[in-house]
Amino acid sequence: MILNSENNGFFFSKKKYFIESNGTVTKKSHSNIALIKYWGKHTKEIQIPLNSSISYSLEQVYTVTRLIYYMKKKKSKNFSLKIFLSGEKKNIFLQKIRNFFHRIAYYCSYLQDYNFIIETHNTFPHSCGIASSASSISALSLCIMEIEKKLGSFLTKEFFFKKASFLSRLGSGSACRSIYSGLVVWGYHKYIKGSSNLYSIRYPYQVHPIFTKMLDTILIVDEKPKKILSSKGHQLMNRHPYAKERFKYANQNMNRMISILKTGDLPEFGKLVEYESLTLHAMMMTSNPYYLCMKPNTLSVIHTLWDFRIESKKNIYFSLDAGANVHLLYPIQEKTSISKWINSDLLSYCKQIITSFCIY
Ligand code: PMV
């Protein structure tokens, strides 16, 4: 049978490997902020998005993961895992990571030969609306691919990252975009060559210079872990009254984004990014059951930003993930005046601020 990349079989690992009794691999992966959002997935297939999405990877917002593996006394289908976050043992992540390992074991048969210790460190708080699962799952997937390489698989660089993205997707959809730096697309879109539902690709088209030097200041208005997990939110899209229209518009918004990225129309970019963010939250608010991720300070930041934009005529726009925190996107040239404004007008609304370069 000829396996092509649109076929999951393309990612099977070969059966025979060198035997290595133990080892350690370390990988770093960045978080990302979506410009066109992924919200909703197919019910019959695993982690297949219902619309394509595009994101910037964030330079200063990342996870470093060390994966220690040692041979099991007896091969078994169970995974023995220990997880440490910043040196602290974290059993709350065990189930999620164990499920992830079970899901990918089909494609990485060698995983069943080992026990694992996962030591991970984030440059930001987890589960607070910054995509911590994106950077942590993608860092872990890169570690797993490094093991695959060490065990003797000949992997081209292209395949290494493609499969890392494929595996990441099975852990957390948005994580598959974190495998690459820069602007990254996940999900098939008829106008984006090479786009796939199975893994992400680097955005393949010309980008205006203005979008190659953008900053993202993340205002952490709420550090607490999310009450409703994204997996639940995606599930609620399955019988959502506005889902069909959302997927249609998300596709059209991607068309608009392709043209904006080419022409460098920053105000249109901002309008679209804000519209996508509010649409994402509108979907949550109109799910059944409905819920709300924004906090009073989220709205205070947005209104203060809108007033500032009218007065200053600066190109600064917000984006939201599935949480209360606000991402402010602006070109690097505006850095000095915008940091001044953030310090004087926004500091009181947030617990912490992280400024990152949007990698291009
Ligand atoms: O990757 P998940 O399953 O955690 O979904 C998160 C999706 C959003 O972050 C809300 C949007 C996106 O495209 O990143």
Distance 131 CA to ligand 1 centre (A): 7
**Which burial class, exposed, middle or buried, applies to 160 when counting CB atoms under 10 A from its CB (0-12, 13-18, 19+)?**
middle
Ligand 1 contact, 50 CB (< 6 A): no
User: Domains in the chain: how many in total?
Assistant: 2
| pLDDT of the residue at 278 | 98
What's the predicted TM-score (pTM) here?
0.95
Structural domain ending residue among the three candidates 202, 233, 257: 202
Would 3 be classed as within a structural domain?
Answer: no
> Rounded mean pLDDT of 261-277?
98
> Rounded mean pLDDT of 1-14?
59
Ligand 1 contact, 172 CB (< 6 A): yes
How far is the CA of 59 from the CAs of 95, 220, 223, in angstroms?
29, 17, 21
Which residues form the domain of 314?
A: 209-359
Partners of 218 in beta bridges: 327, 354
Same domain, 40 and 119: yes
Same domain, 135 and 228: no
- Strand 114-122 to strand 214-220: parallel, antiparallel, or no bridges (unpaired)? unpaired
30, 38, 133, best to mutate for ligand 1 pocket (most atoms within 8 Å of CB) = 38
The band of 127, judged by pLDDT with boundaries at 50, 70 and 90, is low
Distance 152 CA to ligand 1 centre (A): 34
> Rounded mean pLDDT of 310-317?
97
Same domain, 141 and 221: no
Length of the chain in terms of residues written: 360
Ligand 1 contact, 266 CB (< 6 A): no
Same domain, 198 and 221: no
- Three-class SS of residue 327? strand
Same domain, 57 and 163: yes
Distance 69 CA to ligand 1 centre (A): 29
How far is the CA of 298 from the CAs of 37, 128, 223, 272, 295, in angstroms?
19, 13, 12, 19, 5
Say which CATH number the domain at 234 has: 3.30.70.890
Q: Ligand 1: which residue has its CA nearest to atom 7?
A: 38
Cβ neighbours, 10 Å, residue 278: 16
Residue type, 152: G
Q: How far apart are CA 41 and CA 238, in angstroms?
A: 8
- Strand 114-122 to strand 81-85: parallel, antiparallel, or no bridges (unpaired)? parallel
Structural domain ending residue among the three candidates 186, 202, 218: 202
The band of 1, judged by pLDDT with boundaries at 50, 70 and 90, is very low
| pLDDT of the residue at 76 | 81
Ligand 1 contact, 273 CB (< 6 A): no
Same domain, 193 and 241: no
Same domain, 355 and 217: yes
